[in-house]
Amino acid sequence: MKLQLSILFTFFSLIAFGQKGSAKEEWKQLFNGKNLDGWDIKIRGNDLNDNFGNTFRVEDGKMVVRYDKYDDFKQKYGHIFYKEDFSYYRVAVEYRFVGEQAPKGEGWAWRNSGIMVQGQPAATMGKDQDFPISIEVQLLGGDGKKRTTCNLCTPGTNVEMNGKLVTQHCVNSTSKTFDGDQWVRAEVLVLGDSLIQHFANGEKVLEYNKPQIGGGNVSGNDAALMINGKLLDHGSISLQSESHPVEFRKVEILNLKGCTDPKATNYKSYYVKSDNSACTYKKSK
């Protein structure tokens, strides 16, 4: 059974990462380079879409996180959510850390951000909630020592690795360390509640299975949402504000769920999850 699963996951990965003969991948740009249309903002201690201190903004065609209006970070962790949920997909961001950390930011948050996947909707977060219940692909910048990126952290969640439940909050990837202000491409393959893989500049650096609700490391949330063991087969995508300025010059997604009928006009050979209710066909004369 384990061998069959391994072959299945490898098959999904090969399809998802565009082998010869597959249809042209139709990536959707979630960030339009002009404004924050299509996104919701939730900052701890503030109401939904109260963008405290203009934390999330657009500068020079990039989505950026800034703290020039903060005198004290005060653990005002923030997230910017794309307004649509996804289940089977690849999401990629091109990011870099710049500048100085916000005053009184936590030491662990230096050059620290993240991509949250399979998360709760922004509107369900408590006013004082720190992080969405989600799977975090942790983005870290180098500090002169080995410091991997595209790690796993689990606010209100757990995962399985090698068939065993993993309850520790963060698991390091095998990535290289990226020092300075260089751009890095972080990519995540999400296959519903079965498989998640992390990639740093095209190299696979982490893999795990069965993302699910459970554990701690989240506060201020609605307790009714903490259904331990509930598998996360879909959810929101958000980007973090954790006290260090960060820039995103690209945020894009490749949906892997859609029409799998070859006779349809919107069939894509790289889809791995069928949704034939979405199929469209040429009208017969």
Asked if the 2-277 domain carries CATH number 1.10.10.10, the reply is: no
Q: How confident is the model at residue 11 (pLDDT cuts 50, 70, 90)?
A: very low
- The per-residue pLDDT of the chain, averaged, comes to 93
What confidence tens digit (pLDDT) does each residue in 25-68 have? 999 999 999 999 999 999 999 999 999 999 999 999 999 999 99
User: What does the pLDDT read at residue 1?
Assistant: 44
Give the residue from 36, 63, 83 showing the smallest Cα distance to 236.
83
Residue 203, SS3?
A: strand
What confidence tens digit (pLDDT) does each residue in 230-252 have? 999 999 999 999 999 999 999 99
What confidence tens digit (pLDDT) does each residue in 155-168 have? 999 999 999 999 99
Residue 18 has pLDDT above 60, yes or no: no
In sequence order, the β-bridge partners of residue 196 are 190, 208
User: What does the pLDDT read at residue 241?
Assistant: 98
Rounded-to-integer distance, Cα 205 and Cα 161, Å: 14
Instruction: Assess contact for 206 and 136: CB atoms under 8 A.
Output: no
Domain boundaries, the chain: 2-277
Residue 226, SS3?
A: coil
In the chain, the percentage of residues whose pLDDT exceeds 70 is 92
Token reading at 234: 């879909």
Rounded-to-integer distance, Cα 194 and Cα 176, Å: 26
